[in-house]
Every structure is written in C-alpha cells, then in structure tokens.
Structure 1
Amino acid sequence: MNILMLSSTFPYPPTRGGTQVRTFNLLKYLSQRHHITLLTQRDRTVTEAEIAGLKDCVDLAVIFESPSEIDTTDGIFKKLQRFSSFLQQGTPPSVLSRYSIEMQEWIDRAVEAEKYDAIACEHSVNEIYIRPHFQKQLRTVVNIHSSVYGSCYNQLATGISENKLRDQINLPLLRRYEQNYCSKFSAIVVTTAEDKIQLQEFNPNSEITVIPNGVDLVSFPYRKSDPGGHRLIFIGAMDNLANIDAVCFFSQEVLPEIQKIYPDTTLDIVGSHPAPEVLALKKQPGITVTGRVPSMVEYLHKSTVCIVPMRTGFGIKNKTLEAMAAGVPIVGSDRGLEGLGVDGKDTPLKALRANTPADYVTAISQLFDVPQLRHELSVRSRELIETEFTWEIAGKHYEQVCCPQQ
C-alpha cells in the first residue's frame, strides 16, 4: 500500500524524544512492506546528515521549514490571534503555531490525485492537515501519543501547571477540541488503556486501538552484570515539563533522605537540552547533569537503580521501557509505570512502585540492600519487554490499523 505519514516533528535520529522514537520506529516497520512518503518539518537544529539518514528509511521524504523558523515575529499579537482562534474555531495555539500552508497544499494535491491508500498523523498535532472529506477517499489514522486534554487535566490536578489560570481556561476548550478532531478519522491509535477510555467517552463510535510503545532491543541490550553500589539514574529529554518536575521533586525531596542512609549515593540526570532548573541541580551533592550523550544504554548499564518519579504526563514512558530492556531495576510512580503490568495480584514483581518521598526511600533502600531482588526485577523486566514491548510487535499492530485489508 501507499501510505502518507505526517510528522511536524522531525523524527530522526530516534533519540531526540518520545515523539520521535515512536514515529521513527513505526515508519521504519511499515516501510518494510509498504511505500512510505513522509512529510515532516525541520528546524535549525536538524543537520544535513540527519536529513540523509531519514531519507534512507522511506521511499520519499518531503521536508518543509518549521513555521517558527520562517516567522521570527511571533510576538504577543500573534499569540493573542491564535488564542482567539482557539476560542472561536477550537484549534489550540500549540497546533496553529506548527501549521504550514505549504504542507497543507501538498497534502491536498496528493489526496485529490488519489496517490495514497492511507494517511497517518503521527501525534495529534498533525490532525490539522486532515480535512473531513478525506475519509471518503482514503483511510485516515491519527496516532495520538497522549491526550492533550488528559495531560492538561493532570497538570492542574497535580499542581505542576506552569500557568494555572491559562490551563483552567484551556481545559474545556481542549475537551471540545479532542472531541471534534477525532471525528475526522477512520481509526484512532493510543498508547494506553487509560487514554482509550478517555477518548471513547468523547467519541463513543470511534474505532480506537491501544498500541503501546516499544524498544529497539539492539540499541538497548541486556546488561552483562549488576554493578552494585548506590548509583541512581533518570533518563529523558530534560526540556520536557514532566521530566523537569520529576527530577526536581526527586532531587529536592527524596535524594537528601536517601543520602542520609547511603552517603555515597549519586544521581545521573541523562538527557538532551537540560532546562535551567535542571542545570541548577548540579549544585547538590552527588548530582550530575550530562546533557545529550552518545549512548544512553552505557549510562543505564552502570547504574544500580533507574528512577521514574513522574507526577504528570500520560502514556507509556519510553524511558521506563528502555531501562527495563537494559535490565536496570526500576523504582517508579503510578505515572512512570502507566500501562505496564509490573505488580499486583498474580503478577510477578517486575518493578517497585513509589509515589511519596517515604515510598521512594523504602523502595530504593530495598534494592540497594538486596542483590537478589535487583536480579529478579532485572530478569523479569527484560522478559516483559521481549514478549510485549518491541517495536516489531507495535509495528505489526499499527500495520493492521493502517492497512486492514492486508
């Protein structure tokens, strides 16, 4: 089949962030059996080598300049214009700011010429390019990496919203937006059962499929040995609001308590684009902020325990899956372990759950003190990834959604 994939986020290399990882691995799988055309945008950080690498993975890559790179006059007036449009028409400013008229014209011409059998939007922000009548001409799929309404609701509920008044105003608008745009699609894909329940409430007649994220087992091999010691690690894009909140919470409220018991405890914060709040954490004893590193798995293999202290953010976390694939024992919150069967009745323990500072101290102390427990969690975690969370498994399911007749 001929499939047109839309991604306003440049999906290569697949180490830039969760959106890029999911988009790249799904298009890589589909390209093995189908003709893939990818429409995407680049900003000034994208190199020519990265463009060449992406083009090697698809039949055709059409790359547009990011609107934010073209228009540098994005002042208060334009922001007010976009918010006014949100109120009247229902499209959020975060979607409008990425909208490319040139991309829209290219898509319109391609659909009119009947060049494609299916069109897939990688992340809900790309839904803006799908016109309601497209459904009559080809299969339309939206791969919702996480519910925007659910994320906003969760940030307000957990008290980490950057702008509480803005988000309180936006919440009912996001609900209306998510309800309206879903009607344009033949099929909807989400990453967790929670998101499916959320969206099914808005769109009871929609075809909604849960396809979790996966891991590239070659890039994240199982570790050869347990390093022992008292070395903690957090991985993820460090300009992401949920990640910033997680490491600041852990560093300020949990780590000092652990260091009272294990004075030599260290925390490596590993991920690209660390925000100022994250860089400031280097002043605390034992904390290292690396920025982007050549090999995430090398840092994971050196670590005793991986922490995933997320307090917001929906969907299965790539960081959790990658650490489990590498065989590093996990201590994570309900959000950090979302969508994963790691504990509970009749479920062999695969990770330790923690949501309060006291929970984290108890769980991490257990793992520091009991090598056998670390070994058991390590082995079971890897087995879980191998049987349920590879990109090949996810790709097969995604192919069934995009190409149901195959």
Structure 2
Amino acid sequence: MTPAKPHLLFLVHRIPFPPNKGDKIRSFHLLKHLASRYTVHLACFIDDQNDVQYIDTVKSYCGDTHFSILNPLLAKLRSLKALVLRRPLSLDYYFNSAMQNWVNETVARHQIERVMIFSSPMGQYTEHLLDAQRIIDFVDIDSDKWLQYSNNKAWPMSWLYHLEGTRLLGYERKLAAESDYSFFVSQAESDLFKTLAPESIDKISFFNNGVDTDYFAPDAAMPNPFPAQSATIVFTGAMDYWPNCEAVSWFARDIFPLIKARHANAVFFIVGSRPSDLVLELGKLDGVHVTGSVPDIRPYLQHADAVVAPLRTARGVQNKVLEAMAMAKTVLVSAQALEGISATPGTELLLAQSEQEFADQTCAIFNGQQINLGSAARDKVLARYNWEANLSVLDPMLATPTSDAQ
C-alpha cells in the first residue's frame, strides 16, 4: 500500500493556471512539484473571470481548495483603509475573511505543519501558525517595484507608491524573519534582499524559473501570422501590466520610427492579453499591431525576425525572454530585462539601452549583419532553466517535521 502523502498548505495570490504569464508560470510549476510529494491544500484568489473555467484543473492537483473571486476595483477601495492603519496597501488588497477562516479550519483538520506561501501578501494568513514550517517564495522584491514606480509617476501617485514601497519592505522583512526560509526568482534578487533584510541573511536564497523546452521549441511548420515580405519585431507579455505597457509605448513611439525610416516594411507586433487603453492607442501608429490575447504565442516567436524586451522598469526574471530564447530566437533586451537571467550579451542574446542602440541592433538583424544567437540561446535555457532541477532546491527545506518521524 502506498503511504499517504504528508499534508501541505499552499497559499497563492492568483490562481496558478493557466501558466500564461510570469507569476502563474512559476506558481503552476511549483504546484505540480509540490503535488508530486504532498497532499496540497490550496487557497488562492481569482482576479480574472475568464480564469474561473480553470478551477477544476487546479483542483486535480490538490486536496482541499478555496477560491476567492477578487474584484480589483473593490479591492483597491478596500485597501485604502490601510493608509490610516499605516499598513501596506497590498495586505488589505489581498485580505479575505472567508479565506482566513478556511486556512484556520484546514490547518486544524489536517494538522498541517508545512506551509508554502507564494507572494508576500499571502503571508498574513499564516502569522498565527507559529509552530508550522513556513517557506515563502517572494518571487520578486515587490517593495522595490513600488519604489521604482514612484520614480516614474507624478504626485500624488509618486507619494503613494513610495509609501507603499517603504511599508511593504517593512512587512517583507518581518515575514522573512518569521519564516524558516525565503526564496526569490534569481540570485540577483536574493542578493539585493539580503542587503535590505540583513537580519535574515542566512535564510534567504533563490531558485531560477524554468521553461517547458518541449513546448517552447523551434518548429518552422507553425503557421506564419505576419504579413508577407515584412520585417517583423515582436514583444510578448501581459499587456495590462504597467512595466510592459511602458516598454512597448517607448519602443513604438521612440524606437520603431527610427527602424521604420530605414526599413519601410518593418512591423511591430505587441502580443499579449488584456491590452490597456495606452497599448490599444499604439495600434493606430503606422506599422504597429496590437493582437490582444492569442491562442498560442509560439508562431509569433517562431516567425519573428527580432524579439525585443525593452523594459525600463523590471524586477526578477522575465519569462518572455527565456521563452523566446528557448525558441532559438535572437532576443534584444534592455539591462533591466536582462537582470536575473544568466545569459551573456553578444553570445546568447543582445543588449541595448538607448533608442539608437535598439534601432541599430534591430536593423543589423534585418540586414543580416548580426550573427544569429538562437542556437546558443536555446542551449543556455536547456542547461540552466529546467523546472524540476531548479525546484529540487526546495525538497531538503521541506524536511520531515519532528512530529512526522514519531
């Protein structure tokens, strides 16, 4: 008889399916890894009605589950009380009393001693579980992301974002100090947090993201979605995410015209779900195409002449870069998009920072003057970004609690 799996509580700020954007890719593969070793009891929020259809899929990996529908507008209004209470807005944004009750009842029912937290706001549901083994995957340093936002916004939003960044850092430090281990998405992110939370330095580490390299593999038989005889540039990502919106706006308005002046057949495709009004406006520019959600991004990557990631605000690891590299594409990135990715500029991808650098390097690709780095890019992903190998770092951290051995 197969022995029963130990119980584990997994708390995620967004339903971990479908794995079609950064945090959901990581949380889904984490769920799969944990479910192979534990009976996972999962609670999460759903902030997109379209994701309700995936509840049964997520349940298939779990024991008990709790899904809470999150209305972003109401959550923003609810979080404003945190200003008066001098707490991070993020905590009130993601607080739900029914979820807290479910956590309390589930932990008691199954005598759960292992807790996996994904994203800092979910830590608030476990603060009373002093005897449980708690591991948090912060993924990114969210507080630093808010501080970056504050530098790019006018008052009063700059003040609000700076306040949130400062308060959230205080909570992140508290959570790290009270948890058994804290993980981040890259060594760079981990090293930075060690400087911000030196009291927890011995409990801070990282595990890299991975890529499904069987799925993201070059295949010339994929249908070509681009106009004939066009020189194609592609950006992929969730297009309601402000750093992505900022990146494509900069590229479309300030860089693409420089390319278009030299290559009249150039087109810039912005591929990703839920494009914001800012992004939709870009579709009115000559040669710029905004696709919205597509059933499969791989044909856009497969047939792109250049894949770009011109992010100016970024934290952690950009999955969009790793996926394009896995498709054996030459990817042109900013320094911010490269942060956290183990790849050598000029060997496995290209690096640019100014408008002119992005334009010149893109045109060099079009003209055949830039060596194709796709093969080296895919080799790097195969060697460094394997999900199962990277997630295995968690296994010894979730060692058998004392009571299990009795």
Matched, 1:59 2:62: yes
Report deviation, 1:63: 2.5
More displaced stretch, 111-120 vs 303-312: 111-120
More displaced stretch, 59-68 vs 353-362: 59-68
SS of 1:142's equivalent?
strand
Matched, 1:220 2:225: no
Report deviation, 1:98: 1.8
Residues 223, 327 of structure 1: 8 Å contact kept: no
Matched, 1:303 2:308: no
Q: What is the TM-score normalised by the length of structure 2?
A: 0.88
Matched, 1:4 2:2: no
Task: Tell me the percent identity.
Answer: 23
Q: Which amino acid aligns with 1:305?
A: A
Which residue of 1 is the match for residue 129 of structure 2? 134
1:155, 1:111 → 2: CA distance? 37
1:73, 1:151 → 2: CA distance? 23
Query: In the TM superposition, what whole-angstrom CA distance separates every residue of 1:225-275 from its partner, at most 9, and x where no partner exists?
Result: 999962110000000010000000000110000111111111110100000
Q: Which amino acid aligns with 2:96?
A: S
Query: In the TM superposition, what whole-angstrom CA distance separates every residue of 1:168-226 from its partner, at most 9, and x where no partner exists?
Result: 33343233222222222111010122321232123324311111211112321124499
Residues 309, 332 of structure 1: 8 Å contact kept: yes
Q: State how many pairs are aligned.
A: 390
Which residue of 1 is the match for residue 150 of structure 2? 156
Matched, 1:354 2:352: yes
2:177, 2:195 → 1: CA distance? 13
Q: Which amino acid aligns with 2:322?
A: L
2:258, 2:353 → 1: CA distance? 15
With over 3 angstroms needed to count, the CA separation of the structure-2 counterparts of 1:270 and 1:73, relative to structure 1, is closer
SS of 2:49's equivalent?
coil
Query: In the TM superposition, what whole-angstrom CA distance separates every residue of 1:346-397 from its partner, at most 9, and x where no partner exists?
Result: xx711110111011012212222227712xx100110111111122222222
Matched, 1:383 2:379: yes
With over 3 angstroms needed to count, the CA separation of the structure-2 counterparts of 1:365 and 1:43, relative to structure 1, is closer
Q: Which amino acid aligns with 2:24?
A: Q
2:299, 2:400 → 1: CA distance? 40
More displaced stretch, 244-253 vs 103-112: 103-112
With over 3 angstroms needed to count, the CA separation of the structure-2 counterparts of 1:111 and 1:202, relative to structure 1, is farther
**Correspondence 1:201-212 to 2 at 5 A:** 201-206=195-200, 207-212=203-208
SS of 1:234's equivalent?
strand
Residues 127, 181 of structure 1: 8 Å contact kept: yes
1:260, 1:62 → 2: CA distance? 55
The one of the two structures with greater contact order (alpha-carbon pairs below 8 A, sep at least 6) is: 1
2:146, 2:344 → 1: CA distance? 28
CA RMSD of aligned residues (A): 2.6
With over 3 angstroms needed to count, the CA separation of the structure-2 counterparts of 1:43 and 1:179, relative to structure 1, is closer
1:159, 1:258 → 2: CA distance? 28
Q: What is the TM-score normalised by the length of structure 1?
A: 0.88
SS of 1:336's equivalent?
helix
Gaps of 5+ in 2: 1-5
2:171, 2:55 → 1: CA distance? 33
With over 3 angstroms needed to count, the CA separation of the structure-2 counterparts of 1:115 and 1:339, relative to structure 1, is same
Gaps of 5+ in 1: none
2:322, 2:76 → 1: CA distance? 39
2:379, 2:190 → 1: CA distance? 26
SS of 2:359's equivalent?
helix
Which residue of 2 is the match for residue 397 of structure 1? 393
2:370, 2:219 → 1: CA distance? 16
With over 3 angstroms needed to count, the CA separation of the structure-2 counterparts of 1:322 and 1:166, relative to structure 1, is same
Query: In the TM superposition, what whole-angstrom CA distance separates every residue of 1:134-165 from its partner, at most 9, and x where no partner exists?
Result: 24x22101111211221122233456999212
1:196, 1:141 → 2: CA distance? 15
1:55, 1:49 → 2: CA distance? 11
Matched, 1:325 2:326: yes
Residues 67, 99 of structure 1: 8 Å contact kept: no
Report deviation, 1:68: 3.1
2:154, 2:259 → 1: CA distance? 24
Matched, 1:20 2:34: no
